[in-house]
Amino acid sequence: MFTEKLRGRFGAAPLFTHYDGTAGSRVELSGTTFSNWVDKTVNMLDGLGVGPGEPVHLDLVNTDPGHWVTAVWVAAIWQRGCPVAERDDGDAVLAVVGPASQIRGPVTVMCSLHPLGLGLGDLPAGCTDYADVLAEPDVHWEEPAPPDDLAWLPDITRAGLERFPGSDQRLLFADPPPGWESVRMLLVSPVLGGGSTVVVTGIPPERVSRIAAEEKALLTRVGEAL
């Protein structure tokens, strides 16, 4: 259901907008552009040997929960038919990390978190640069997965994703916290409900209010009822 809903977000209307105060950037992804990034990332997962059902340790949800790259990875892992692991308990076949992370997995993809997805200047030994994803085809395919398969470890199933409330609003979140609740509100809710997300990170509060007005978005906190 989640992937089907995401695939239905055609056109130029924004799905995910990210203001990065450190980089001084604004990146806006329409549903179509977001899905293209997801498709490329799914093909990268396949090329790295990640099979359906195998856990992927997505450390980005801990270090960079509001970044657009993190949201793309969550959707891609689900589309591949795999569960997301916030932490590695030893079962994960792949680790996805940011540029400063010391975490390594059996296979490690390191993301520069550059606003435009550019590569790392100095890639640590043994890591794959996420920028390699640009060479992957943006062709959609999805692994069929039973509804009781896990989507988020330890206990959220694929069917369970559909039970969370969707939002049809344009919501703005400032410096969202790590973990599942941010993924639920920044990604799952707008995809299921037809809304959109604006995330601002590393930006002073007075400017956040101006951005909310400019984006015509409702300033919201992770965990608030929709």
Per-residue pLDDT tens listing for the chain (226 residues)? 788 899 888 788 999 999 999 999 999 999 999 999 999 999 999 999 999 999 999 999 999 999 999 999 999 999 999 999 999 988 999 999 999 999 999 999 999 999 999 999 899 999 999 999 999 998 877 777 889 999 999 999 999 998 999 999 999 999 999 999 999 999 999 999 999 999 999 999 999 999 999 999 999 999 886 6
Give domain status of residue 226, yes or no: no
Q: What pLDDT is attached to residue 43?
A: 96
Q: What pLDDT is attached to residue 225?
A: 66
CA-based max dimension of the chain: 46
Give domain status of residue 182, yes or no: yes
Q: What pLDDT is attached to residue 135?
A: 96
Q: What pLDDT is attached to residue 8?
A: 86
Q: Extract the tokens encoding 86.
A: 């916030």
Give domain status of residue 178, yes or no: yes
With CA atoms as reference, report the closest residue to 177 among 111, 86, 53, 76: 86
State how far the alpha carbon of 92 is from the alpha carbons of 55, 103, 107, in Å. 5, 12, 9
Give domain status of residue 135, yes or no: yes
Give domain status of residue 225, yes or no: no
Domain residues for 66?
A: 2-219
Domain CATH number, residue 192: 3.40.50.12780
Beta bridge partners of 95: 57, 108
Interatomic CA distance for residues 150 and 158, integer angstroms: 6
Q: How many structural domains does the chain have? A: 1
Give domain status of residue 181, yes or no: yes
Does this model's pTM top 0.75? My answer is: yes
